[in-house]
Amino acid sequence: MRSFFALFLTISLSVVVFSACDDNVTYADELDIEQNLIKSFIQRQGITVVDKMPQTYPWPEKVFYKSSTGLYFRLTEQGDIASGDTLETGDMVVTRFLQYNLAEKADTLSNLSTLDYPYPTVFNYLDYTQVCVGWHEAVGYMKRHNSEATIIVFSRLGFSQFNRPATPMGYDLKIKIQKNY
């Protein structure tokens, strides 16, 4: 009876393990699915994508700039333009953010609430070991203390946990800059 139970358990576990692996989906397939998800999100939200960043503020309603790297960026608040201070390499960037997926019924994964997340995400600008490449690029466009933006980051520019399967993410970012004097 014990050997029958052990054999049954082994077969059951093998079936579960092998059925959980989907070797038919390649990384290229994941990237195609990701691009389709981004296109669908853009269409559902009524977003207009431009290849030149708007030079006037406020930006036209629902206009996103698509950079050469594939980052979708929309400046929603210019920040402190009167000070003339802009972001420089090594400056500390303090962020609050709303992170969401782009699925039909988007789920919020993280948010700006100081009750849920009392400590903001802090990183040094252009130190790519601290946050994803997409955030550095977006913060470079934001440039100023108290600026805000909405971005769409595809997996290759995003955080490593979204690389496989390839998953694009949306972020509403608010930044504060602490100069590195």
Spell out the per-residue pLDDT of the chain, length 181, in tens.
454 434 333 444 343 333 444 568 899 999 999 999 999 999 999 999 999 999 999 999 999 999 999 999 999 999 998 887 789 999 999 998 888 889 876 555 555 555 455 568 899 999 989 899 999 999 999 999 999 999 999 999 888 888 888 999 999 999 999 887 6
Residue 181 pLDDT: 64
Residue 160 pLDDT: 83
Q: What are phi and psi of 156, to 5 degrees?
A: -70, -20
Boundaries of every domain in the chain: 26-178
Residue 103 pLDDT: 84
Cα separation, 112 vs 115, in Å, equals 9
In contact, 60 and 75? CB cutoff 8 Å: no
Residue 111 pLDDT: 56
Q: Output the CA torsion 164→127→129→134 (10° steps).
A: -10
Residue 120 pLDDT: 82
Q: Which CATH number fits domain 26-178: 3.40.50.720, 3.30.70.3040, 3.10.50.40, 3.60.15.10?
A: 3.10.50.40
Please state the pTM of the whole predicted model: 0.80
Cα separation, 145 vs 57, in Å, equals 16
Strand, coil or helix: 74: strand
Cα separation, 145 vs 80, in Å, equals 6
